[in-house]
Amino acid sequence: RGDMKTAAGYVDAALSERPDSIEVLEMMVTLERSQKRLPEAVALAQRLVAAQPGNDRYLFVLGALQGETGDRAAALATVRRAIEINPDNAPALNFVGYSLAESGENLDEAEKLGDSELVHFLAVAQMLIEEKASTLSSGVPAFETVDTSWPN
């Protein structure tokens, strides 16, 4: 944990063995970003999007990285593509809403996205609670017949 130089060595070795591996590319994006090498992280995220153009999560990651580099226009365009693919992508909705609000642009749209993001956040929170309850209760005989899904 925390030894980024060793992690980079492992990830580089994995990438040389499997240059088209989506999982390795994901790790590389995370590693480059953690090292503050944003142009490299953006280039790798672009490879992820090229490999899976319909993946809204990869589009969001690319857009967020573009935003971190200061390319606000590209960031918003990319994240909006993620929302077109998945209108329930809460982080993407949040990103666009906050970006618009911070810049003072399209405040009506920003407010709408913010409200939508809150609804999605609550839905995701509910799902995570149900998942955690199921995990904690699995294998425990006393909970085998209990319905742990919300709102029960």
- Retrieve residue 55's tokens: 């993946």
Q: Which residues of 17-26 are buried (b: 16+ CB within 10 A; e: fewer)?
A: eeeeeeebbb
How many Å apart are CA 41 and CA 48, to the nearest integer?
Answer: 11
The predicted-structure confidence for 40-89, as pLDDT tens digits, reads as follows: 999 999 999 999 999 999 999 999 999 999 999 999 999 999 999 998 88
pTM: 0.64
Radius of gyration of the chain (CA): 19
How many Å apart are CA 135 and CA 108, to the nearest integer?
Answer: 41
How many Å apart are CA 9 and CA 99, to the nearest integer?
Answer: 36
More confident site: 1 or 101: 101
